[in-house]
Structures are given as structure tokens and as C-alpha cells.
Chains A and B, each alone.
Chain A
């Protein structure tokens, strides 16, 4: 396994490990870890680092919707062109071209249902190539980015065992 791949594995588990701890886990020098991280970032493999948040436990309103978008392409407009236009909005958290019944899957976030609805109807729907939007408000999140939002991880092992 390359140094970059080994470092990426550790970051995928927890991107907050400091360089020293990543070095210890991978048998690399701290300098090599720094270099591997720089490499991952400059090559575009790692695009950023963010926490996984359970918004139920943050004392403010937060609304998330998954929006299905259908679009109609013409000779001058590609999927990438439409995607660029949609992705620029800060309210768009993620944007993917998908196979199946619709073209784009868009995650939209906002402080209230009204603002999210407004954003979809006033900013997304009017885009000329967009033929249809279906908005699904997220009601409950059980797992995000590989992390389950439950409290079942208590360690019930005996404290000393053979």
C-alpha cells in the first residue's frame, strides 16, 4: 500500500488525528505523513474535512432536503454546465448526476422548510433546462458518512478477561 493510501485510510477513520498519531499508525515519519497529506490535497483526492453532525443535538433549526431534478439538454448545454450553475449556491450541499428516473440528486440545506422550499422554487426550478423537481424533506437521519446516530456503542466487556 502506498503511503498516501495508508494515510487516507487513517483520515477516513478520523480526519482529526494529528500528524504524529497518523505516523504512529502507519509506521511513517511525521514528515512523510505531511507530504502524503499535501499530496492527497494537491491531487484533488482529498477535497476537504468536515465533522459529521447529528443536527438533532445542535440547538438550532436545520432542515435538509433531497431534491430530484430532471433536466432537458440541448445542443449547447451539457450536464456539467447545468451542474456548475446549481453547485455554486451555498444552499446546495451535494450534487450528483445519477442513473435512473431522474438526472441530478441534490442535497439542499437551510435554516427552515420555508427557506429550502423557496430556494428550490425560486432558484432551481426556473433554470431553463430543469423540467421537474421533486423535493423530499429529511425527517430523521439514522446514519451519515458511515457513522450511526444511535447510542448502542457502550462497551460492556469485562474489564479484565483471559
Chain B
């Protein structure tokens, strides 16, 4: 008999909604997975070599809590491409992935009873981390009619005026949606009018097609109420190295760092060495990956259109979010795995507004992508 008393907080934290689909996928050995949330590429070789070099030189100790100074300096230079200016001294914190940074932000900003508005469909970690910090979660549904963009209207309809914090991810996981300048202005207007702090997860910023990524922190009056999250996982294909960063006003970064110093101490040292090299020399490698993703995106959107599967034109990240016939995305995803061996994630997992859709990842080689499209087509024909 277990004599350990699990905390109420842990008991109330539900298991991840994707677990069931993972288990189903594991049952087959001919699975083609379009259900992953990470690149199929490896990190650029120069970055991997820098990690190896750092190990050979014995660089295995802690770094400064905020991250190595030279990494923070390079991050500061790097984000200038998005017209963002942050001081490496006190406005940048290097974290163990964006996930840690989001958790720190929730803990640093949310008091019990505060409301965290979450733009949905959303990456899975926002609601649980908001609740772990004692916050109440207010879902802010986005609509296919708006190409799943977060808008002033969406915030208004959801009643977000009383929220304290707004968290979103654009380019979006799971929909692939991006925000237009108009959308951004609307969100910024709403945040200013109702005094919201914005947690802008921009980890997919480099994976923006048909246009340039723009950060909400560049809009008038927004820098002081925004935390910008980014990292190396998606753009540099470094998910397993666990490295992200957050940019924000010095007071907030300081508060987050105080929690970070006790819970994490510092982000992985080897990954920091890889990241310095990534920022120094890997722009071409990123551009190459982005152009490959873009081609696959067009390919998948074309195939879905030919199959008669409704799918809005996703312009970011490496996901498309087709609407499925019948509307039961969970049954559809289960049957698709079992009948055709193609793993996808049902949209409902990412919030109620994702119901009736599938998250389809195109971060997969073209051969497999083509085969999986054939299988999905056969699956649809058989229904």
C-alpha cells in the first residue's frame, strides 16, 4: 500500500491528452507518424560539433543562472531581426526549453485566483502550468473563420477583460496559424485596455512562410507588458538539447530568475555552447530547413485539397489543421492509426475549439509524407 501522500495539486493535474494516441501508435511497427511536435532534422552539424568541442574541453560545470553571458549577448543581437531590443545584462533569461520559461512566468506573475487567458487551440502546457501556479484558466477560443488567429473579437467574446495574464503561441502549435499585423494590433489594444500581461510564445517565429514574423512586443506600449519566449528547439532542430529563452522587462526577468535559481540553477551547459554556435553560423542551415518545410506544407495542403479535406492555409510552424468529416476527431484519429497506421493528434486535445480537426505535422521526409497522404486518402475513401 502506498504510504506516500500525493499532493492535491499533482492529483488534479491530468495526464497528457496525447498519451492514448502515443500508446496506439506504439502498438504498430509500420506506423508513419504525423503526430510529433518536433523537427525531423538533426541540429545543424556546426552546433552539434560545438557541443562536442565543449565536452572535450571539459565544459561541464554550471553556468551563470541567467545563462552564459556570450549566449545572452548573441540572443540580444539575434532578436534584433524582429526589431526587438533586450539588454543581455538583465532582460534575458536562458532556460531549459521554453517549457521552463512558461512555467517560471506563470509562477512569477500569477497569484492564486488570478485568471490566465489561454488562446486555444493551444500547446498543452499552458493550462496545467497556470493552474499549478494557482491561477484559473479562461479558454479563449479562436475560429476557423479567422484562420485560427487570436483577435480582439476573440478576446472580447471570451470575456478576457478581467483576465490578468494572456498566453498564446503564434505561429501556432497545433494549427499552424500566424497573426497578421491587424490581429496583433487588436490583441495589443485589448491587452492595453484591460491591463493584461502577455506571454507571447514565439518559438516557431523562424518558421513563418509567406511573410515575416512580427512580435507583439514591438507594438506601442507593449514591451513593458510582454514576455517574449523563444528557443532553439524548433528553428535549430534542438528539441532534445532543451534550450529556450525569455525576453522581458528587467523586474519580471529578475523575479523569474529568482525561481529559476532554486529550481533549475542554470540551463544545460552543453546546449548553451551549441546554441552560441547556432546563432553564430547556422542561419543558412535554418533557411534550408525552412524552405524544405515550406515545400512540404504546400504539398500536404495540396493533397488535402485534392482529397476534399477542408484545411485553412497554415502559414507557420510545421502543422496543418484540417477539418475532418463527421466531426469526431478523436474517433477519426484512433481509426486512422488502427486502420492505416498513420498517427495524428486530434484537435480536441489542444482545447475544445480544436475539436473536429486534426493536427498533422509535416516535419517528416517527403517519401513518408507522400505515403501517409496516400494512406489518409485510402482511409477517407473507405468511410
Contact = CB atoms under 8 A, between A and B. Distances in A.
B298 A160 contact: no
B299 A25 contact: yes
A17 B366 CA distance: 10
A159 B366 contact: no
A159 B36 contact: yes
A159 B22 contact: yes
Chain A interface size band reads 10 to 19
A13 B292 contact: yes
Residue with the greatest number of chain A CB neighbours at <10 A, chosen from B33, B123, B292, B299: B299
A161 B38 contact: yes
A106 to B, nearest CB: 30
A84 interface: no
A158 B295 contact: no
Contact of B295 (A10, A155, A159, A160): A10
A158 B296 CA distance: 21
Given A21-B299, A25-B298, A26-B295, A160 B36 contact: yes
Contact of A24 (B25, B299, B343): B299
Interface in A47-96: none
Contacts of A157: 33, 36, 38, 40
- Among B37, B124, B295, B343, chain A packs the most CB atoms within 10 A around the CB of B295
Contacts of B173: 162
B246 to A, nearest CB: 19
A161 B18 contact: yes
Given A23-B302, A24-B303, A162-B173, 18 more contacts: A9-B291, A9-B295, A13-B292, A21-B366, A21-B370, A25-B295, A25-B299, A26-B295, A26-B298, A157-B33, A158-B22, A160-B18, A160-B33, A160-B35, A160-B36, A160-B343, A160-B345, A161-B37
For the complex of A and B, 6 pairs with smallest distance between CB atoms: A24-B302, A160-B35, A159-B25, A160-B22, A25-B295, A159-B33
